[in-house]
Chains A and B, each alone.
Chain A
Amino acid sequence: MFYREAGQFKTTYAGDQAVFPILQDRAFVIAVILFAFLVVPFIADDYWFQAILIPFLVFSMAAIGLNLLTGYAGQLSLGTGGFMAVGGYMAYKMTTAFPDLNILIIFILAGLIAAVVGILFGIPSLRIKGFYLAVTTLAAQFFILWLFNKVPWFYNYFSSGVIAAPPRSVAGILVVGPASTPMVRYLVALSFVVVFTLAAKNLVRGRIGRSWMAIRDMDIAAEIIGIRPFQVKLLAFAISSFYCGVAGAMFLFLYLGSAETEAFNINVSFDVLFMIIIGGLGSILGSFLGAAFITLLPILLTNLPPHLGFSMPIDLQSHIEVITFGALIIFFLIVEPHGLARLWQIGKEKLRLWPFPY
């Protein structure tokens, strides 16, 4: 009964074009953001920041990036890990080369470099489609990691090949590096995610978003009505890789602290792909839901049974966890192939009709 569109007539197109045209949605989102900024820092402990919230935010960012490319523009990519690596390594190179440059700006620059790399690897998408394209994006994944692993310049010639986030402050507050507090890193991550989510939301509901979706839904028709497929696809690769690049920088600087190329391996690419499929292709909200599902579910599955008083050998538990994870993925796909975001929407639709069944 509380979720009602009725009575909220949009009298202007402007009103209808707002990010969240429905009052309840708007209020809800604002409340969530305020809560995340003002309340969470006081109630979460290190474990929550470090093991749950920060990875969730980092992966949300990456998931939004991939969702722009795959969910909106329809270009299936398995190279996310590679593009994240570009962001991470480039941010590392820049901050060690220019220690005085503001680290937040470095994140953005790293994203831009990733965008350029994304464009390069997006070029084949003009001719190659679907799973063929997906598999070719693995070339990006493997090549980029190989490069960072092989060329010592990228890891400042450390014999171990491991890069570590050096300490950097912004406005006198230490935001990255081992001594920075998880709470600060969380807030930085949160700010990035909020800002870039808004930007993504703006993009997808405007001209560019529509061209992406047009290419996704039917590329030939899109071209015939005047969309330049090459430009549009490359833009999708660029912006998506930008997001992934920033996510990669966040991954290294705000979450892991140090990494070798393995940290960005193909499993990362797959994880992010799971997120957007489970969350919902072509849905920004879905990116968050998916990121939450994939990062939190394993943690939940590990920690829940002991809390419920089940105890079993740790390996058995881990196997059962994997099985449950796989089964849940299949289950959710069967229940709703369009992802959690769609479930959420159906829920809202039902709520709107409630108490009448249809």
Chain B
Amino acid sequence: TKAGAEEAHFIPLLVYRSGPYAPNGIPIANGFIDYFTLLNERDGGIDGVKVTWEECETKYNTKVGVECYEKLKNKGTAGAALINPYSTGITYQLIPRAPVDKIPILSMGYGQTAAADGRIFKWVFNAPTTYWSQASAFIKYVGQQEGGMGKLKGKKIALVYHNSAYGKEPIPTLEALSKKFGYDLKLLAVDHPGQEQKATWLQIRRYKPDWTFMWGWGVMNQVALKEAAAINYPMDKFIGVWWSGTESDVVPAGDDAVGYKAGTFHAPGANTQLHKDVYKYVYGRGKGAGEKSRVGEVLWNRGMLNALVSAEAIRTAMGKFGKKAMSGEQVRWGMENLNLSKSRLKEVGLAGFTPPIKVTCADHEGNGPVIIQQWTGKEWKFVSDWISPMREVVRPMIEAAAAKFGKENNMTPRANCM
């Protein structure tokens, strides 16, 4: 603890409020900040210790992100409590640095899936769920819709994906499941940025898939929706990853997007107690980070949930280490012992917003369930139940990938956690 300064948790915020991905970056960042502001305004911080943060603009650029990280990692009374990189590229940069700098990484719903194996990736957390879990949940959903997993045999599924590490994430899972359930899988890569997808959609028009999944990002999503509509593809058979299921993806596509579905791991809309508190304590006091009308957008909610998980990890750590600013090392422990139970969710005002999240030493993901939402033209609406991923398929894959990573980097799995 540095002398003289007031005790406060310090959270570096890598945000992207400018550049091509700003439409996504802005609501996420605002959700984050609004939640921390709420904590300070309503509760005077986390268990009495204030939260401070500093934004650093990354423009979604990996190099700038690293620069930001280096700049912020030692700030605050106890250094950075944890870091949310908010970009797959930056996450990968920080993964090797985390054990050295002793700052845990929370990459919620993105980043490296294999990091769910906490025995190798001691410092990285990707709760509540990962791309691989999500992909398996999509297949489950399709199975449900088709009337049972047995009906999957002979079905055709196309995956339209951003041609990058991020976009390729679901492929191993979908391929493994295709073997298991006997559906036909067609992979269609779309190169960054994805302004032009005529060839992709002509292929879909010919292939006539029963279902189409999309792992898209940025402008690629809107164009895909437009093109799908142009070939009269049934939108309710078109499901996007949770980064392709936000307002800024569907609104620009206008009516064409109606009926389109996407995965998510939390509710849309501003209907919980917590949202009310945000209106009251944050926007009511003129301290909102963005426009009030945008509270409750999908990405605002995700940013807020992300902030909440961070804060809960800090709170958990304070339970063990005492009422003071938490260091990265301490928050790592907090993360690893995080248990956001149903009752705790209710306490923080998020009843029904998201399923419970529980992280363990070995499992940094928690294998949380996924839900499908659909765009009505005005708002996102749940159209399924919470679907729990196929852990029996996904977890071994995660462990294998983690082991491989460990081997290449001379790391041995932690023995003391199962």
Contact = CB atoms under 8 A, between A and B. Distances in A.
Query: In the complex, is A directly touching B at CB under 8 Å?
Result: yes
Interface of A: 46-47, 50-51, 55, 96, 146, 149, 156, 158-162, 164-167, 177-179, 256-263, 265, 267, 298-299, 302-303, 313-315, 317-319, 322
B347 interface: no
Interface residues of B, number: 44
B17 A160 contact: no
Nearest to A302: B57
B70 to A, nearest CB: 4
Given A96-B408, A260-B92, A302-B57, A162 B165 contact: yes
Contacts of B96: 164-165, 177-178, 257-258
Contacts of B59: 318
Interface stretch (B166-174, B206-214, B266-274): B166-174
A178 B97 CA distance: 6
B412 to A, nearest CB: 13
A299 B67 contact: yes
Interface of B: 15, 17-18, 22, 26, 55-57, 59, 61-64, 66-67, 70-71, 74, 89, 92-93, 95-97, 99-100, 112-114, 163-165, 168-169, 171-172, 191-192, 401, 404-405, 408-410
Nearest to B405: A158
Contacts of A158: 401, 404-405
A156 B353 CA distance: 40
A149 B163 CA distance: 8
A177 B70 contact: no
Nearest to A261: B164
8 contacts: A156-B408, A158-B405, A179-B100, A256-B63, A258-B96, A259-B92, A314-B55, A318-B18
Contact of A162 (B112, B404, B410): B112
A51 B112 contact: no
Given A178-B97, A258-B93, A258-B95, A298 B113 contact: no
Given A160-B114, A167-B410, A256-B62, A317 B95 contact: no
A161 B168 contact: yes
B62 to A, nearest CB: 6
A220 to B, nearest CB: 39
B169 A160 contact: yes
B99 A178 contact: yes
Contacts of A318: 17-18, 57, 59
A313 B57 CA distance: 10
B277 to A, nearest CB: 24
Interface of B is mostly: helix
Contacts of B168: 159-161
A242 B89 CA distance: 26
B391 to A, nearest CB: 18
Contacts of A322: 18
A279 B41 CA distance: 50
Given A158-B404, A159-B113, A314 B15 contact: yes
B286 to A, nearest CB: 15
A302 B56 CA distance: 9
4 closest Cβ pairs, A-B complex: A178-B96, A315-B17, A51-B67, A161-B165
A322 B19 CA distance: 10
Nearest to B22: A315
A159 B172 contact: yes
B333 to A, nearest CB: 21
Given A55-B63, A160-B92, A258-B95, 7 more contacts: A46-B74, A51-B66, A160-B114, A167-B410, A259-B62, A262-B192, A315-B22
Nearest to B61: A267
A314 B191 CA distance: 30
A167 B192 CA distance: 31
Contacts of B100: 178-179
Contacts of B15: 314
Give the residue among B17, B22, B95, B165 with the most A Cβ atoms within 10 A. B165
A179 B97 CA distance: 8
Nearest to A181: B100
A47 B62 CA distance: 16
A315 B57 contact: yes
A47 B74 CA distance: 10
Contacts of B56: 302, 314
Nearest to B63: A55
Contacts of A260: 89, 92, 164-165
B92 A162 contact: yes
